Chains A and B, each alone.
Chain A
Amino acid sequence: GAVVSQHPSWVICKSGTSVKIECRSLDFQATTMFWYRQFPKQSLMLMATSNEGSKATYEQGVEKDKFLINHASLTLSTLTVTSAHPEDSSFYICSARGGRDTQYFGPGTRLTVL
């Protein structure tokens, strides 16, 4: 099956710094990528949808200036958490869709902001 990777798998940073998370589709071209956030014992919440070469569409309540998404190629999307604060600590999961059907999910990135 299709493989989606995320890097890093975990990151710890100080409050006020920026963190970049990469999401790659390894064996297919992803026309659309999705970024989710999951707090402990809660479900996945969609943050934004990005299409290659265009601006991301953010869900209501998600600050686009804080969570910068770049989908520069058909195999790579990045999420940058700018000026991270402890409340941004969460599990961030990306997914990629190449065709009409299945979204393939990455393994997730655990972000801890001290």
Chain B
Amino acid sequence: KQEVTQIPAALSVPEGENLVLNCSFTDSAIYNLQWFRQDPGKGLTSLLLIQSSQREQTSGRLNASLDKSSGRSTLYIAASQPGDSATYLCAADSSGSARQLTFGSGTQLTVLP
């Protein structure tokens, strides 16, 4: 059964810093790996989706990498802003007939002005 772990659980940084969020998964047989943002009391906003054949995806100040062989993904946020404060979730989409997302527990990010 797939297990997804995110480190750190919480992170507080001053505005302008570059930061890295980590995600690891136990079963490398994934279809894709997704990163989401969740604001308090809200649903999920999809940030980046990396197909299993890809190594990275970029959107604006966000860059996500994927290393299937080691079961790791990282989300890099450049020049952080207070508006980036949220919980960031990664989710592994399992391959095979029973496609489903397995979520990590999230990293709660606070960017201080």
Interface residues of A (CB under 8 A from B): 6, 32, 34, 42-46, 49, 57, 91, 93, 95, 97, 101-108, 110
CB distance from B14 to the nearest CB of A (A): 24
The main secondary structure of chain A at its interface with chain B is: strand
Contact A43 B100 (CB under 8 A): no
In the complex, B103 has a CB within 8 A of chain A = yes
Contact B49 A44 (CB under 8 A): no
A10 to B46, CA, bound (A): 22
The main secondary structure of chain B at its interface with chain A is: strand
A44 to B102, CA, bound (A): 8
Contact B89 A43 (CB under 8 A): yes
Q: A34-B100, A46-B100 are in contact. Are A102 and B46 (CB under 8 A)?
A: yes
Residue pairs across A and B with Cβ atoms less than 8 A apart, 5 shown, are A32-B99, A49-B98, A49-B100, A93-B44, A103-B93
A6 to B43, CA, bound (A): 10
User: Could you say which of A34, A42, A97 contacts B105, with CB atoms under 8 Å apart?
Assistant: A42
In the complex, which range does the number of interface residues on chain B fall in? 20 to 34
> Contacts of B41 on A, CB cut-off 8 Å?
91, 110
Contact B43 A106 (CB under 8 A): yes
> Contacts of B101 on A, CB cut-off 8 Å?
34, 46, 95, 103
User: Could you say which of A43, A44, A105, A108 contacts B46, with CB atoms under 8 Å apart?
Assistant: A105
A65 to B106, CA, bound (A): 30
CB distance from B46 to the nearest CB of A (A): 7
> Contacts of B104 on A, CB cut-off 8 Å?
43
In the complex, B85 has a CB within 8 A of chain A = no
